[in-house]
Amino acid sequence: MAKSLRPENFDEYIGQKNTIDQLKTYVLATKIRAARDPDDCALPHVVFEGGAGLGKTSIANVTAKELGTNIRIMQGNSIEKLADLAQNLVVLEAGDILFIDEIHSLRPFIEEMLYSVMEDYRLDIMIDDGAGGSKPVNINLPQFTLMGATTEIGRLKKPFRERFQYEFTMSQYTEDELALILKLNVGKMYCQFDSDEPAKKIAKASRGVPRVALTHLRKCCDWALVENDGVINLNIVDKAFELASISEEGLSANDIKYLTALASRTRPTGLKNLAEITSIDKATIENSIEPYLHEQGYIEKLPNGRIITQLGEMTLNAETGI
């Protein structure tokens, strides 16, 4: 069985210092309240917002372990019916955590149903009355924590968002933080670095995202295990990156294709046209390609389309040798 790369407690969690420091206090306060009143045993509701791969699910799991409670995990877009959510709510015990990833993708009626669940710990549902109609039933729930994670916090309705007492924004990781994560996990993949340089190079190409860094690390480990007795040096990193079309700046083949398309245009280009030019679907462009390129200053998003910046052109030229 593959070893878990997730942190087990707050002390093992690298990065997000401000969020971790706050959670340590809130978890301790929750334990103190529970000791004085067993019925007041749950951490207040929490929502994490930030880009994909920044550790929102990991931090939820760590928080559950620090509280000594159970966590149930659901995907927002998989909750199609009230019953899908209800079957997870009714099995919660006092102090448990229900974590909904991509919570912005909840259907509106599910989101609205959660108002009373979060406020009053009460599930209001309609059931068959046996006479061809339906009747309301109120199910009391134990005090629990609803945790949400989202890449699009603005899509949460105001009444829903305001019911989360704690809201945390996950930030991009520094290269030093990513290098430390890599060093802590390389042994779990049965490998080792020959120096600090390979970890630094992988970190630089990881777009500030731990998930990306660990994906790159696994590629490098596979090559190291096969060709260098598990030792990762710069040659191994270079080979793994070259064959996987990963640039030193972390640009993927699709990123290069996207920038090349913009560079060939003399005026701002809309999303639909870019998708047609690059043969990359619009969702991938919007959610996976553009956020990083925009953050790095390689592109600008204008009301009438996208343009490549001077920095973007310089980076593209350096990557393609044009």
pLDDT digits (tens, 9 = 90+) for 28-46: 999 999 999 999 999 999 9
Residue 138 pLDDT > 90: no
Give a three-class secondary structure readout of 170-189: CCCCCHHHHHHHHHHHHHHH
pTM of the model: 0.84
* 125 lies in some domain: yes
Whether 219 is catalytic is: no
What's the pLDDT score for residue 69? 97
The answer to whether residue 55 sits within a structural domain is yes
Place 278 in a pLDDT band, splitting at 50, 70 and 90.
very high
The answer to the question of whether 121 is labelled as a binding residue is: yes
Is residue 218 part of an annotated ligand binding site?
Answer: no
> Annotated binding residue at 177?
no
The pLDDT value recorded for residue 321 is: 67
Q: Are residues 268 and 188 in the same domain?
A: no
Catalytic position from the list 19, 30, 56, 315: 56
What is the domain range of residue 202? 175-243
State residue 288's pLDDT score. 85
Taking 70 as the threshold, does the pLDDT of residue 168 lie above it? yes
Q: How far is the C-alpha of 49 from the C-alpha of 56, rounded, in Å?
A: 8
264 assigned to a ligand binding site: no
**Is 173 annotated as contributing to ligand binding?**
yes
pLDDT of 140 above 70: yes
Q: Is 58 annotated as a binding residue?
A: yes
> Is the confidence at residue 119, as pLDDT, over 70?
yes
Q: What is the CATH number of the domain that holds 287?
A: 1.10.10.10
> Is 174 labelled a binding residue?
no
**What whole-number distance in Å separates Cα of residue 166 and Cα of residue 322?**
49
The arithmetic mean of pLDDT across residues 2-28, rounded, is 93
Are residues 143 and 213 both part of a single domain?
A: no
Distance of CA 165 to the CA centre of its chain: 20
Please indicate whether residue 200 is annotated as part of the active site.
no
In a shared domain, residues 16 and 162: yes
- Report whether pLDDT(322) > 60: no
Q: Residue 103's closest CA among 155, 62, 51?
A: 155
Point out the catalytic residue in the list 19, 69, 145, 151.
151
The answer to whether the beta carbons of residues 56 and 157 sit under 8 Å apart is: no
In tens, the pLDDT along 66-83 reads 999 999 999 999 999 988
* Confidence (pLDDT) at 143: 97
The catalytic residue among 69, 101, 269, 315 is 101
Q: What is the pLDDT of residue 133?
A: 72
Question: Is 126 a residue whose pLDDT tops 90?
Answer: no
- Shared domain for 120 and 137, answered yes or no, is yes
pLDDT of the residue at 125? 76
Q: What is the pLDDT of residues 188-223, one digit of tens each?
A: 999 999 999 999 999 999 999 999 999 999 999 999
Residues in the chain: 322
Confidence of residue 129 (pLDDT cuts 50, 70, 90): low
211 part of the active site? yes
Domain count, the chain: 3
Taking CA 1 as the corner, what is the angle to CA 182 and CA 58, rounded to the nearest 5 degrees?
45
201: domain CATH number is 1.10.8.60
Average pLDDT, whole number, for the chain?
94
Select which of 19, 57, 145, 315 is catalytic: 57
The answer on whether 306 is annotated among ligand-binding residues is: yes
State the average pLDDT over residues 225-253: 95
Q: Which of 24, 72, 107, 211 is catalytic?
A: 211
Q: What is the mean pLDDT of residues 119-138?
A: 79
Sign of CA dihedral 254, 255, 258, 261: negative
Given pLDDT bands bounded at 50, 70 and 90, which one contains residue 103? Answer: very high
Among the candidates 212, 243, 274, a domain finishes at 243
The answer, yes or no, to whether residue 308 has pLDDT greater than 90, is yes
User: Which of 183, 217, 243 is at the close of a domain?
Assistant: 243
Cα 238 to chain center, whole Å?
27
The domain boundary residue, chosen from 111, 145, 169: 169
